[in-house]
């Protein structure tokens, strides 16, 4: 069960329109730019940039786009200054929600996030109000089709993974946060391709929603958050049986 909430999110993203995919490309581009400014344009020494490039490739961002963003960010002496801010809050019926953002205007972003929570039966809380219900883990996802489960598990554990979860048509490989890059690189060398590979917030407990209003509000809250240009990732502990 520990992987299903994550995969309902991935399914939502897969079903997005071309316009929404373009928005995802833009968000990843912003993340690449920030990584370059923080650690330089060489992914062999900038591990954060290396991780974001892997994320971009998993999202099918063209290599030309990636290289162009890196060159632009490396050549800019000034430009936009984005900061990473994490917001926490409660959705309908106490669903825990964590929102990772990159913003050049924290007042605008905070106001938007607060509005989304308020509009959909929730409330934005203080830092730490829900994060204690989550742990940080590296999550590497592989499409299971055509792969041998025992072999993938053996390769994953040999590469340094700490857990292996079969989640429907996905193999969900867990790592310590700092080991994500090394495990991903090892599996890549073994010939595996990834749906995604990121450090994520994994809930320790889940919350079920039963009323139609709560279900409608939770879906709308997630849509509004994901559509915001400043929001990079949304994590939650909603146990949604319909999307397992």
Domain ranges of the chain: 4-75
- Token look-up 């009323």 returns 211
**Cα 88 to Cα 224: distance, rounded to the nearest angstrom:** 15
Sorted by sequence, the CB contacts under 8 Å of residue 244 that are 6+ apart come out as 4, 7, 8, 168
CATH class of 4-75: mainly alpha
Tokens 């290289």 correspond to 67
Looking at residue 10, what is its pLDDT? 52
Query: pLDDT by residue (tens digit) across 84-132?
Result: 999 999 999 999 999 999 999 999 999 999 999 999 999 999 999 999 9
pLDDT score of 196: 86
- Collapsed DSSP state (helix, strand, coil) of residue 137: strand
Distance CA 244, CA 238 (A): 11
What global pTM score does this model have?
0.86
pLDDT at residue 3, rounded to an integer: 41
Which residues, given as ranges, of the chain have pLDDT below 50? 1-5, 7-8, 243-244
**pLDDT for position 195:** 86
Q: Beta-strand (E) ranges in the chain?
A: 83-90, 96-103, 123-124, 134-143, 163-167, 170-175, 196-203, 231-236
pLDDT value of position 1: 30
pLDDT value, residue 159: 96
The pLDDT value recorded for residue 176 is 96
């Amino acid at each position: 069960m520990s992987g299903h909430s994550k995969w309902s999110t991935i399914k939502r993203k897969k079903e997005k329109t071309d316009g929404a995919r373009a928005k995802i490309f833009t968000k990843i581009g912003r993340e690449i730019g920030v990584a370059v400014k923080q650690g330089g344009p060489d992914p062999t020494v900038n591990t954060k940039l290396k991780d974001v490039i892997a994320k971009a490739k998993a999202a099918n961002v063209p290599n030309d786009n990636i290289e162009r963003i890196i060159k632009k960010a490396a050549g800019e002496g000034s430009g936009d200054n984005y900061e990473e801010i994490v917001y926490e809050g409660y959705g309908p019926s106490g669903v825990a929600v964590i929102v990772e953002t990159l913003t050049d205007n924290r007042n605008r972003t905070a106001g938007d996030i607060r509005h989304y929570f308020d509009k959909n039966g929730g409330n934005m809380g203080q830092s730490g109000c829900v994060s204690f219900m989550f742990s940080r883990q590296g999550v590497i996802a592989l499409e299971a089709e055509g792969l041998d489960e025992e072999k993938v598990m053996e390769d994953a554990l040999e590469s340094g993974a700490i857990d292996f979860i079969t989640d429907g048509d996905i193999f969900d490989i867990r790592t310590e946060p700092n080991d994500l890059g090394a495990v991903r690189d090892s599996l890549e060398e073994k010939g595996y391709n990834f749906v995604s590979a990121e450090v994520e917030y994994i809930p320790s407990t889940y919350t079920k929603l039963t009323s139609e209003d709560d279900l409608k509000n939770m879906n709308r809250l997630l849509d509004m958050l994901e559509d915001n240009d400043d929001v990079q990732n949304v994590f939650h502990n909603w146990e949604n049986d319909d999307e397992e």
